[in-house]
Chain A
């Protein structure tokens, strides 16, 4: 008997205890009454449209009540850092790290104001983020810190014309394998022939009544912590007057646990994020002593070594909890299991790759909605687990969640939006993966279902600054995602609603390509050595002392005099 039925009956027994003797008859009756419930559900199109309208209404109401606007908590953190006791604390750290034993206390005092990682939004006038056609860098700066946007790391986005041209040329080339940058997985050129050809057809419900204005969100960062000249005087290198660098900003702090399986933690005040990597000097490097292939093969993991998704997520949750990292403002975590696709399709399993590190994504939520990279993958905080040791090895994209929002004109015609997906025409602003041609390629028709509302992670470059934006978008589920080994298995197609983006004659970033995967058997994810993305500070450390060491990195960088 289900809990629901038990509850319903129990409620009745409380009033009429004698009914309990009739339970054998009542229970199936209640069950069948429940089962007789008509399957009434709102249509997905209605749910999505109403959500957009509510989002617009939320912003409208918030703009009427400007007291709701929040200051950047990172600015509050900066203010906090200016307090004398913090400067003293950091100076003590910087002083050649002699007083290592004082560090835990300092770390405890380094406390960001409550809410730094709690989403808040301040409303700005329409169009405050400038033209969304401001030239993008094409690269997600945070993605380089871990596994997140393989597409962008591997293949900075070219203008559409260039993309279309190169695609067209590629189709007629003789079969070859384009080399991907070592270790970076798949780029657009890293594909084995024959290229697949995809077309989209829409089989969902028609969405009407789309809003004319949508709110674009921008993540608020910080310009760094202003450091006083007095603070810099504490760095006595003996041959340089550090306090001559007036108005220097403290951009990062990195500290490292000097113990087995220790971590290196970097707080980036400029980007407003925290990244935690394994301190590779204190983690075992099992392949270091290998001199031949047999050695490598003997150490290669097998799928049996990889815990289940539930176990991995449980391990990650537990670690995050131990370190006070809340996941309350993220979506449901999921494990990136693309490697299994390649493994399962490999004819020779001995040559197939089983990674040591498995990534779990805790999806970002902006305005309560999921965020997608332009290629359709879900954006979020990543937690890497080294399955050889069943330990969390890295946490990246732990970002501040202070946002500004500003309205932009939106495309309201659903049919027009669909054309960006279904037309299969390289002339459209949105690149459509590889357009259909008649050169005998394998052709696959992908079905798209009714879209949900989400945001597309997007970057522009304005006033010498990367702007991290989130464009409202319709996110179409791919109902029959390709299973070919060379396809990167997108589950969604993301079409931003912002008109300026869609109508651009100089397109910026293709939101809806299926990304080809790495040709060499490895998953199409960037395998960047965490230590390599750090500040070069991993050499610091105090062997044998099981306390964190701290490196304070002012900006601009200060090089020792020659």
Chain B
């Protein structure tokens, strides 16, 4: 948390809520992505993201810096919002949609590398849901292990161990030819 963020939070907590805009601009994309990966539906993600920020704005006076990063606090609100949403709607999420989307929107230009990426995604799908979510939060959403720990209630050590196991699993699963392609594309 840098100085500008600390100042904005402090200002908000003294009633200068206009400073919340800075926090919004910093986190809107991250929170939206976080929610989207849990809902896989644009309109739902927008609704829940809106609700998350409104709730954060209303309760920012309750945020205690001693109890964790602001980002963790915000992610926790988002997570609870998503949980509440599913409790209410009892919907199921099809994780396949994420990967279909990925293969359509974010592949490398070269066909060979594109194929390699699809293979990686295929193996990513094969991971246990908890592990896959961990990889998504760490690698795709850029959350720190501390933030993930605060969100999931697991220890940082356990999370790192799970990530390590997942990478080893992926390394052994992805074909040598794919790794060669991937490795070659780095040069």
Tell me the A residues contacting B by CB distance below 8 Å. 4, 8, 11-12, 14-16, 19, 22, 24-26, 28-43, 46-47, 50-51, 53-55, 57-58, 61-62, 65, 67-68, 119-121, 328, 367-369
CA distance A64 to B54 in the complex (A): 16
Q: List 10 A-B contacts (CB under 8 A).
A: A28-B186, A32-B117, A37-B106, A50-B24, A50-B50, A51-B24, A53-B50, A58-B20, A58-B57, A61-B58
Query: Which residues does chain A contribute within 8 Å of B24, judged by CB atoms?
Result: 50-51, 54
- Could you tell me which residues of chain B, from 141 to 187, have a CB within 8 Å of some CB in chain A? 142, 145, 157, 160-161, 163-164, 167-168, 170-171, 174, 179, 182-183, 185-186
> Are the CB atoms of B164 and A40 closer together than 8 Å?
no
Given A37-B140, A42-B29, A54-B54, A12-B106 contact (CB < 8 Å)? no
Ranked nearest first, the 8 interchain pairs of A and B with the lowest CB-CB distance are A368-B21, A68-B15, A38-B102, A58-B17, A42-B32, A37-B140, A28-B182, A39-B106
> Are the CB atoms of B32 and A40 closer together than 8 Å?
yes
CA distance A135 to B57 in the complex (A): 37
CA distance A35 to B124 in the complex (A): 13
Given A61-B57, A61-B58, A328-B4, A41-B32 contact (CB < 8 Å)? yes
Query: Which residues does chain B contribute within 8 Å of A328, judged by CB atoms?
Result: 4, 7
> Are the CB atoms of A120 and B28 closer together than 8 Å?
no
Query: Which residues does chain B contribute within 8 Å of A11, judged by CB atoms?
Result: 145, 160, 163
Instruction: Give the contacting residue for A30; candidates B7, B25, B108, B167; CB below 8 A.
Output: B167
> Are the CB atoms of B164 and A19 closer together than 8 Å?
yes
Given contacts A19-B168, A30-B167, A328-B4, 10 further A-B contacts (CB under 8 A): A14-B160, A36-B117, A37-B102, A38-B98, A38-B102, A38-B105, A41-B29, A46-B49, A54-B21, A58-B21
* Interface presence of B116 (CB below 8 A): yes
* Interface presence of B70 (CB below 8 A): no
Tell me the B residues contacting A by CB distance below 8 Å. 4, 7, 14-22, 24-25, 28-29, 32-33, 36-37, 42, 45-46, 49-50, 53-54, 57-58, 98-99, 101-102, 105-106, 108, 116-117, 120-121, 124, 135, 138-140, 142, 145, 157, 160-161, 163-164, 167-168, 170-171, 174, 179, 182-183, 185-186
Given A40-B32, A50-B53, A33-B135 contact (CB < 8 Å)? yes
Query: Which residues does chain A contribute within 8 Å of B36, judged by CB atoms?
Result: 40
Given A28-B186, A29-B167, A61-B58, A15-B108 contact (CB < 8 Å)? no
Instruction: Give the contacting residue for A40; candidates B37, B99, B171; CB below 8 A.
Output: B37
CA distance A46 to B168 in the complex (A): 39
> Are the CB atoms of B46 and A46 closer together than 8 Å?
yes
CB distance from A468 to the nearest CB of B (A): 17
Query: Which residues does chain B contribute within 8 Å of A119, judged by CB atoms?
Result: 16, 18-19
> Are the CB atoms of B22 and A368 closer together than 8 Å?
yes
> Are the CB atoms of B18 and A29 closer together than 8 Å?
no
> Are the CB atoms of B171 and A26 closer together than 8 Å?
yes
Given A15-B160, A32-B116, A38-B106, A368-B32 contact (CB < 8 Å)? no
CB distance from A140 to the nearest CB of B (A): 23
Query: Which residues does chain B contribute within 8 Å of A368, judged by CB atoms?
Result: 18-22, 25
> Are the CB atoms of B179 and A16 closer together than 8 Å?
no
